[in-house]
Structure 1
Amino acid sequence: MSRTQTMAGIEYPTRPMIAVTAERLPAGGQAGFAYEPKFDGFRCLAYRGRDRVVLQSRQQRPLGRYFPEIVDAVARLDTSVVLDGELVLWREGRFDFTALQQRLHPAGSRAGVLAATLPASYVVFDVLALDHRDLRAQPYAARRAVLDDLLGRQLPDGLVPMPVATDPAVARVWLTEHSAAGIEGVVAKRLDQPYRPGGRTWCKVRTRLTAEAVVGGVLGSVTRPEALILGRHDARGRLRVAGRTGPLPAAARAELGALLLPAAAGEHPWPVAIPSSRFGQRPGELVDYLQVVPATVVEVDADTSFERDRWRHATRFLRVRADLQPNDVDPRTRTASAG
């Protein structure tokens, strides 16, 4: 599609506005801030023209064929519009990113079946154009008022308005008390700010979790590990690969190198190579590592992307827990903190 083509009064395609990571929630200022929970999903721009709907990813790739139920929902709006939001999938009491990824099936014939068995929702947090009027230059507060009016008049199944608050106390509750539902953090937006495609002036604060895990392997050498392969017990008591840490600091490498012991051949519960998908990486590849005796417990700092017994993102090593044995590690124990 030509970059000069327009839909709903706005050039197509456009790049979404991006949030950069911050250590703490911004507050105060002359204009004030709005806060939105950050859900675990796919960023998506939705374009509704006179006779068609286009769903587009953050990387400007088409998503409509994978989510026909969202295309139908946007098509039921009674005006031309460009929306910004997040595609999410709610399953078993939390946002399920892994199930959402299953919707990106290469066979087009599967789209309808997956839409019925794994239905998605489109959580809308901004409107960039309405009835052929470009709204991007308007402040966030004005755009949000337009969005609330639009979705207040009509809310087709599959569309959900993003919760929003101007009270930092509410944002801190989202950060600290709802991580189990898959809320990754909070996005803060200045109320007087226009929408700048590709701009990075929103900020996001991620919910962080501390958790214990068993060291089952290392990258590098056993005496000088560069990163740890982590395990946690499942409901049957089996030690499962749960993720990995990022690079270890020099002091941690020396400390862990003095504690870890190589596992004897054939006596480790894991295979000698681990599928990369266990670490949230591209599937189909194997990660080689060195197996160690799974007797050392460590505490790590992680984000909320823990599902199906594993972390999708690398964790950060905090300390060795010499006071704990592997069987003391409770897979349900994770403590949330705001930033």
Structure 2
Amino acid sequence: MEFPVEVALARAVPRLPTGDGWWYEIKFDGHRAVLWREAETARVQARSGRDVTAVWLDLALAAFHTLPPGTVLDGEAVIYRDGRVDFGAAQSRAASAPPRARDLAERWPATFAAWDILQHPVHGDVRGRPYSERRALLLDVLADVPPPIQAVPATDDPTVAQVWYDTLHEQGIEGVVAKRASSLYRSGRIWQKVRHAETVDAEVVGHTGPGARPRALVVELPDGRRALSQALTAPLAAAVSAHIASAGPGRRVHARATGSYTTVSPGLTVEVLAGTTRHPVVTVTRVR
């Protein structure tokens, strides 16, 4: 398996699917990450494919010391503060330069919530195996691995999954992800998610202002329309600029609906308030 890997995603649905063959996982509110334990090192990949090891160095070190070489895990980089999952802390870490990220890691170390195994130290690339088999292999690999790397809770009982959704929100749990037991691992929106936030995912296609400090975003909504965002807050601008810096500069274009903007390479997704998508200007809540 070659670095980086294209990750699987989930699409938002209004309620949990039920019936034979469904499994459910707690959806932690953090930053998507892929842990690579290679022969002589370990590194961390962002959802976009960027190498973000310098930002999540504590997780890379944990992977190096506890995972067998040849292991690749998919999951979420999570930070706890005051006993609950704190997405803001994870977002601040992800948008930080390496020196500040190291300082933040000393104060609020990260946890890796693993929900899938893409490469097994013995069986190799297991993305072509069903979810139920990959789940068993994940639990086997992590059986003796201490925190901060842990498997997410999972169940095939929809009643238990609904209880998770109804009761864990105050602890910072975002929702529940549903996966078919027979599903293979592939890129694209192959899973389903139910979450508390009234938001929708939108793909970033461009930005206004300089790349080092973007002022607003041009996003493509789920129905295919493109819209301009409101002015970005400083943390959002920092997270977007990190993606722009790693992907390289775009080109200038002009569209009637959004005006002039600079294009952004694919791979950057944000959440926008669902109630704003009917308007020409949308409100971005965070970078995924």
Common fold: TM-score over 0.5 = yes
Matched, 1:199 2:155: no
Q: CA deviation at 1:157?
A: 2.9
2:25 partner letter: E
Amino acid at match of 2:2: E
Q: CA deviation at 1:208?
A: 5.4
Question: 1:116 Cα shift?
Answer: 1.0
Query: Residue 9 of structure 2 contacts residue 191 of structure 2 at CA under 8 Å; is this kept in 1?
Result: yes
Judging changes above 3 Å, is the alpha-carbon distance between structure 1 residues 71 and 283 closer, same or farther for their aligned structure 2 residues? closer
Which of 227, 230, 233 is 1:277 aligned to?
Answer: 233
Equivalent residue of 2:90, what SS? Answer: helix
Aligned-partner residue type, residue 104 of structure 2: L
Change (3 A) 1:208 1:62: closer
**Percent pairwise identity:** 37
Residues 290-331 of structure 1, C-alpha deviations (whole Å, 9 max, x = no match) = xxxxxxxxxxxxxxxxxxxxxx853649xxxxxxxxxxxxxx
**Structure 1 residue 22: deviation in Å?**
1.1
Indicate conservation of the 8 Å contact 1:50/1:80, yes or no.
yes
- Output the CA distance in 2 between the equivalents of 1:176 and 1:282: 33
TM-score when scaled to structure 2?
Answer: 0.68
For 1:118 and 1:208, locate their aligned partners in 2 and report how far apart those are by CA, in whole Å: 24
The corresponding residue for 2:3 is: 12
Aligned to 2:29, which of 40, 46, 52?
40
Q: Is the 8 A contact 2:25 2:177 kept in 1?
A: yes
User: For 1:81, which of 59, 71, 79 is the aligned residue?
Assistant: 71
Larger radius of gyration: 1
Aligned partner of 1:46: which letter?
L
1:283 to partner: Cα distance: 6.7
Quick one: distance in 2 between partners of 1:60 and 1:87? 15
Cα drift, residue 282 of structure 1? 3.2
Partner residue of 1:158? 148
- The residue number in structure 2 matching 1:221 is none
Residue 262 of structure 1: aligned partner? none
**Distance in 1 (alpha carbons) for counterparts of 2:96 and 2:130:** 39
8 Å CA contact 1:175, 1:185 repeated in 2: yes
Q: Secondary structure at the match of 1:60?
A: coil
Paired AA for residue 201 in structure 1: I
Deviation at 1:78, TM superposition (A): 2.6
Q: Give the Å deviation of 1:168.
A: 0.4
Residue ranges of structure 2 left out of the alignment (5+ in a row): 199-229, 240-270, 277-288
Superimposed CA distance per residue, residues 207-255 of structure 1 (whole angstroms, 9 cap, x where no aligned partner): 258xxxxxxxxxxxxxxxxxxxxxxxxxxxxxxxxxxxxxxxxxxxxxx
Question: Partner of 1:66: helix, strand, or coil?
Answer: coil
Structure 2 letter corresponding to 1:104:
A
Structure 2 match to 1:138: 129
Count of matched residue pairs: 212
CA distance in 2, matches of 1:208, 1:60: 25
User: In 2, Cα distance between the equivalents of 1:94 and 1:43?
Assistant: 18
**Which one of the candidate residues 86, 99, 113 is aligned to 1:123?**
113
- Could you tell me which of 122, 136, 139 is aligned with 1:148? 139
The residue type paired with residue 158 of structure 1 is: P
Q: Which runs of 5+ in 1 are unaligned?
A: 1-9, 210-273, 285-311, 318-339
Amino acid in structure 1 at the alignment position of 2:40: D
Q: Does 1:70 align with 2:59?
A: yes
Residue in structure 2 matched with residue 114 of structure 1 by the alignment: 104
Which residue matches 1:22?
A: 13
Alignment RMSD, CA only? 2.4
> What's the CA shift string for 1:51-96, capped at 9, x where partnerless?
1112101101111101111011111213320100000101113211
Q: How many angstroms apart in 2 are the aligned matches of 1:118 and 1:160?
A: 17
- Which has the larger displacement, 163-172 or 177-186? 177-186
Task: After superposition, give the CA deviation of every residue in 1:3-42 in whole Å (9 maximum; x if it has no partner).
Answer: xxxxxxx12211110111112111114xx11100111111
Q: 1:208 to 1:112 in 2, by over 3 A?
A: closer
TM-score (norm 1): 0.58
Partner-residue secondary structure (3-state), 1:282: helix
1:128 to partner: Cα distance: 0.6
Q: Aligned equivalents of 1:18 and 1:128: distance in 2?
A: 14
Aligned partners of 2:11 and 2:193 also within 8 Å: yes
CA distance in 2, matches of 1:79, 1:105: 29
